[in-house]
Structure 1
Amino acid sequence: MLSVAHISKHFGSLHALNDVSFDVHDGEIMGLIGQNGAGKSTTFHSILNFLKFDGAITWNGQPLSADDYNQIGYLPEERSLMSKLTITQQIVYLARLKNQPANVIKPKINDWMQRFAVKGQPTDKINKLSKGNQQKVQLICTLIHEPQLIILDEPFSGLDPVNADLLKQAIVAAKQRGAAIIFSSHDMSNVEEICDTLVMLRNGEVVLNGTVDGVRDQFGRTRLFLTTDWSAEQLSTLAGVDSVTAIGPNHYRLKLTNADAGPAIFDAVTKGHYIQEFSQQPPTLDEIFRTEAGGVDHE
């Protein structure tokens, strides 16, 4: 388990992190979210010992050792590969920095290239690959030694939906073998789909921390989806309805002023008869991000 306890970091007068704490358990995926400049990369760099900080970061109850760092897979936001090396040379070079022998890594390369659908051969040079395939090679470099702690800084950036799904499959596979995983993303659908927990930073401070469902439920079930022959104008007159949005023929999304209004709305719309859909839900992570990341008051 990775434990980040009360870490703070100043860059001159800039307070980049302020008393940040969270845990990431083995076999767990945590999403680290927040606006640009919220402190996500500084948090990653603190874990990786790239910079000094106040507080404590431990792995399985102990300060991270050199051997522990060899068991970390890190994908930085700024991608960087050596363009004149072949795919094999690049992967082996970075693996050797993690104390992984070449004769252990080389036999795995073809399998990993197939897993990520890399178009090319292991003998191809990096500069002959498309930007997308270069990105996939860097992902292979991050994961091929099967690290126990995986840190991915905006891993989905620049990936199309098909390749993003391949990465999600690799992340979930790493979770299933027991790795602790942290990734940052501005796409809340990625966080909502595969994360067990999330931490949101705002101006270097933790403003949300918990399971994905638990965080959403904090905001109340104030979103209502229903299919009905009522008009939007009729629905808007119901007590507790703040706004109505048509999202398809006879299909509406209601924002409620209070989650407790749901049962009365159900009774009014159904009148004891079957309707195709009535689903009361908390706000999506995307909605929560938009209000919380910038410090906007809750709706």
Structure 2
Amino acid sequence: MAENVRRKLGILISGRGSNMAALVEAARAPDCPFEVALVASDKPEAAGLAWAAEQGVATFAQSPKGMPKAEYEARIDAALRNAGVELIALAGYMRLLSPAFVERWAGRILNIHPSLLPKYKGLDTHARAIEARDAVAGCSVHLVTEELDAGTVLGQAEVPVHLGDTAEALAARVLVEEHRLYPRILAEFVRSMADTPLARVRSVALALPEAEEENEGDTSFSVDGTVFARITGDGALTTRSESGWRTLTLSEDADWTVIGDAIARGWELSAPQALLEAGGR
């Protein structure tokens, strides 16, 4: 990743979003590899939205009431993409994401869960840890997959369970560790993805207006339903050009200025006229 370039993060919340606040605060550090581009919620009245707006962070709210899940998620997805979001952090977001949404953002959605996964997936984690007489409880940051709380665990923090603990008391201590763990693991994850060819192509492509990523077989990038760039199974990049499709090699010594220009030109050849007339890229 180029020096001083930070990945754009979208955060989904359903309430006050204390973990969201921890991520926003962490993003203020000059050496943080991510910036918060959007805080979105399924609850327009969520307290976290007001807090984020006060901090100068863009917000979006869409209630799913009376709306098919696919339509609701399409609106959330569009808001994230319009904000240039490259990866998503769930922070107290209480709705299950559909397999289709997870697939569109595969490998780029993180969540924090209040247990030491794989223990205690789902709800009531603290009460279950106390009931099981566990010596320690804690929290886990993991990748989101179609299966609930089953994605790869990226990091954990342990908290001792005290004699006579209540679920509320334990939850409060775990939350302190969540606020420390989530920003650190997210930053490590962003740095680990920063220098891969796919990550660099994704950063360039998704910065273009209304660009979308699709992951069905090859990874492709489209605008208004038309593919303008694609990474093939053998790792080559193809971009739309005036004479058809242009193939570029992705390697450590690749000329990323040339690659960036090719991706942008592919977008220009694929974007609808109305988008070009509105200012293009």
TM-score, normalised with respect to structure 1: 0.27
TM-score, normalised with respect to structure 2: 0.28
Greater relative contact order structure (CA < 8 Å, 6+ sep): 1
CA radius of gyration, larger in: 1
